[in-house]
Amino acid sequence: AQSVTQPDIHITVSEGASLELRCNYSYGATPYLFWYVQSPGQGLQLLLKYFSGDTLVQGIKGFEAEFKRSQSSFNLRKPSVHWSDAAEYFCAVGGVNNNDMRFGAGTRLTVKP
């Protein structure tokens, strides 16, 4: 069965600094990978997704993620973090049908002024 590991429970970065959130997945076939963001009291919002093709995926709000099959990773990056990026970030892996989706436990991002 597929699974997702987000090794970092909490990350703190300074505003303007670069960001990388780690995600490792386990899936028997070609995975479909997603990053979602959840602000306090809000639902999840899709940042980006990967199905095939170019392994570097661009998303909304200046985020990007790179799929590395050899490392079973799908790390999320942003070159310069804004205070409004403070939120919880979830990586998810899915299969053929959306009901196969599995979410990681999330990484909480704090942004220092």
Touching other proteins, residues 36-65 (CB under 8 A): 36, 41-46, 49, 51
Contact (Cβ atoms closer than 8 angstroms) between residue 76 and residue 57: no
Q: Which residues partner with 78 through β-bridges?
A: 19
Q: Does 106 bind other proteins (CB under 8 A)?
A: yes
Distances (CA, A) of 48 to 10, 37, 43, 54, 98: 21, 10, 16, 13, 15
Touching other proteins, residues 75-104 (CB under 8 A): 90, 92, 94-99, 101-104
* Residue count, binding to other proteins (CB under 8 A): 26
Contact (Cβ atoms closer than 8 angstroms) between residue 95 and residue 32: yes
Nearest distance from C-beta of residue 113 to other proteins, angstroms: 26
d(CA 55, CA 100): 22
Q: Does 109 bind other proteins (CB under 8 A)?
A: no
Which one, 43 or 113, has the nearer CB to other proteins? 43
For other proteins, the binding residues (CB under 8 A) are 4, 32, 34, 36, 41-46, 49, 51, 90, 92, 94-99, 101-106
